[in-house]
Amino acid sequence: MHTPQYEFLSGAETHYFESPERREAILNFLRSHPDMFEVTEYFEDFGYQPIKRVHKKDFLEYLETAYEEWIAEGGHPNGVLPATIPHHKLARLGRLKASNCLAKSGQYCFDLSAVITKNTFKSAWNAAQITLTAAKELVRIGEEYEMNVTDGSSRENPPGLYALVRPPGHHAQSDLCGGYCFLNNVAIATQWLIDQPELKRKDGGLKKIVILDIDFHHGNGTQEIFYTTSNPLYISLHSDDDYPYFTGSEIERGEGEGLGFNINLPLPKATTDDDYVEALEKLIQEHIIPYKADYVIVSLGVDTFKDDPIAGFLVTSEGYPRIGNAIRKIGLPTLFVQEGGYCIEMLGINVGGILSGFLG
C-alpha cells in the first residue's frame, strides 16, 4: 500500500528503491521452500497503545493526516516530502511552529527518502502490528523452548520467527521519519515485550532483550528511542562512512541508565564475509552472551550485499547463512524483522540465507 513513485538520490530523481517488489521477492523465495519455512499471513491488531509507547502523539497525528493535508494544500501526488528541515544551527529554533503540512513535513522528517503516500500510514501501521503479532508468538515459542530445555534438551536449537514487513523501521525516531522508515517496528515490538506484566524472568525481573541491527545503515531511530535505558541492549554493525552519516560512531554508548547499553560497530566498505562474521562473533561473545537476554530481535537488512544498488559491503550470498548461524549460536528465541536490502534479484536468497543459517 506504500507506493512512492520516486525519491531523490545524489540530487537526481530516481525510482523508489524501497518498493513493494521487495516484499514479493522475499515472499516468493520463502514460499518456494516449504520444507524450511511456514508462511502465515495472519496478524492481530494491537491498536495505538504499543505504538504510543515509542512514538510521540503529535508525530503519529501528523503521519496519519499528512497526505490528505498535503493534497489539500496543493502538494504533488507523489507524496509528502519536505523542502525545509529545521536544522539545529538555525537561530531561535525553539520558536518553531509548523502550521501547514509543508512546514510539518520538515519538522517530522530528516531526509528526502521517507515519502508519505495515500496509504503510507496504514502500511506502516500494519507493519508494526505484524511485528507485534510476531513478538506475541515469540513469547509462545520461547516458553515451549524453555520447557524443553528444562526437560534436559540443550540450548542448541533456538526457535525463530521472521516478520516480512515494509516500510522498514530502524531509522524512525520517536518523532521523526526518514530513511524509508515511519514507525520503528522493532522498537515497538521490543517495548511491548518489556511491558507485558505477566512476562517475568525467574528472578522476578523484566524480560531482557537484545536488538541486533545487521542492516548496512546505522539504526539511528532505535538508538535514539532506547538511548537512556539498559533494556534493550542495542547493538549495530554498519558502514563507517555512509547514510545516515551523523550517527553510529563508537563513542555513542548510551546515557544515564543506558550508558554502556548502546553499542555501535562501524565497519569499512571493504568488509567481506569473513570480516563480517568475525566482527559479529566477537560482539556476540563480548556483549550479547554476558547480557543474559531472554530474546533476540534482529533488525535484518541485507543491504550489506556486495551488489546492493544504494549500499553494500562485500558480503556475498554465501555469507548470509554464516551470519544466520552465528545468531543461532546465541541460543535464544529470535525474531527477525525485515529492514533494508534493495538488490531485488538476490533479496529472497539473501534473506532466506540468514534464516536457513539460523535454522542450522
- Residues forming the site for Zn ion (CB under 5 A): 215-217, 301, 303, 340
Examine residue 344 and tell whether it contacts ligand SP5 (CB under 6 A).
no
Please tell me what DSSP assigns to residue 285. I
Of 19, 113, 239, 325, the residue at the interface with ligand SP5 (CB under 6 A) is: 113
* Minimum gap (Å) between residue 275 Cβ and Zn ion: 18
Examine residue 179 and tell whether it contacts ligand SP5 (CB under 6 A).
yes
Of 55, 166, 171, 218, the residue at the interface with ligand SP5 (CB under 6 A) is: 171
Q: Beta strand pairing status for 295-300 and 209-213? A: parallel
Ranges within 7-26 binding ligand SP5 (CB under 6 A): 9
- Residue 146, phi-psi category: left (phi > 0), alpha (psi -120 to 50), beta (remainder): alpha
The residues facing 205 across adjacent strands are: none
Q: Kindly state the helix (H) or strand (E) to which residue 8 belongs, with its residue range.
A: strand 6-9
* Minimum gap (Å) between residue 346 Cβ and ligand SP5: 15
Query: How far apart, in whole angstroms, are the C-alpha atoms of residue 53 and residue 70?
Result: 27
Examine residue 243 and tell whether it contacts ligand SP5 (CB under 6 A).
yes
Based on CB atoms, which residue is closest to ligand SP5, 309 or 331? 309
Residue 329 grid coordinates: 549460536
φ, ψ for residue 292, nearest 5 deg: 55, 55
Of 301, 319, 333, 348, the residue at the interface with ligand SP5 (CB under 6 A) is: 301
Residue 289 grid coordinates: 552472551
Which distant-in-sequence residues (6+ apart) come within 8 Å of 333 by Cβ?
138, 141, 142, 145, 158, 159, 160, 294, 295, 296
Q: Beta strand pairing status for 334-338 and 233-239? A: unpaired
- Out of ligand SP5, Zn ion, none, what residue 168 binds, judged by CB under 5 to 8 A for its kind, is ligand SP5
Of 207, 217, 218, 328, the residue at the interface with ligand SP5 (CB under 6 A) is: 217
Q: Which stretch binds ligand SP5 (CB under 6 A): 19-27, 153-161, 174-182, 188-196?
A: 174-182
* Minimum gap (Å) between residue 303 Cβ and Zn ion: 4
- Out of Zn ion, ligand SP5, none, what residue 221 binds, judged by CB under 5 to 8 A for its kind, is none
Number of residues lying near ligand SP5 (CB under 6 A): 15
- 235 by DSSP, 3-state: which? strand
Based on CB atoms, which residue is closest to ligand SP5, 194 or 343? 343
Please tell me what DSSP assigns to residue 227. T
Residue 331 grid coordinates: 541460543
* Minimum gap (Å) between residue 78 Cβ and ligand SP5: 17
C-beta nearest to Zn ion: residue? 340
Residue 153 grid coordinates: 534438551
Answer for the pair 220, 244: CB distance below 8 angstroms, yes or no. yes
Residue 335: count of CB within 10 angstroms of its CB: 27
Q: Which stretch binds ligand SP5 (CB under 6 A): 24-32, 51-59, 176-184, 279-287?
A: 176-184
* Minimum gap (Å) between residue 341 Cβ and Zn ion: 7
Candidates 162, 180, 155; CA nearest to 3 is 180
Examine residue 215 and tell whether it contacts ligand SP5 (CB under 6 A).
yes
Based on CB atoms, which residue is closest to Zn ion, 129 or 338? 338
- Out of ligand SP5, Zn ion, none, what residue 171 binds, judged by CB under 5 to 8 A for its kind, is ligand SP5
Query: How far apart, in whole angstroms, are the C-alpha atoms of residue 316 and residue 277?
Result: 12
> Which residues are the active-site residues?
171
Ranges within 302-321 binding ligand SP5 (CB under 6 A): 303, 310
Please tell me what DSSP assigns to residue 284. I
Answer for the pair 198, 188: CB distance below 8 angstroms, yes or no. no
* Minimum gap (Å) between residue 173 Cβ and ligand SP5: 13
Query: How far apart, in whole angstroms, are the C-alpha atoms of residue 206 and residue 231?
Result: 9
Of 194, 313, 339, 357, the residue at the interface with ligand SP5 (CB under 6 A) is: 339
- Give the position of cell 526457535: 159
What residues make contact with ligand SP5 under the rule CB under 6 A?
Answer: 9, 113, 168, 171, 179-181, 215, 217, 243, 301, 303, 310, 339-340
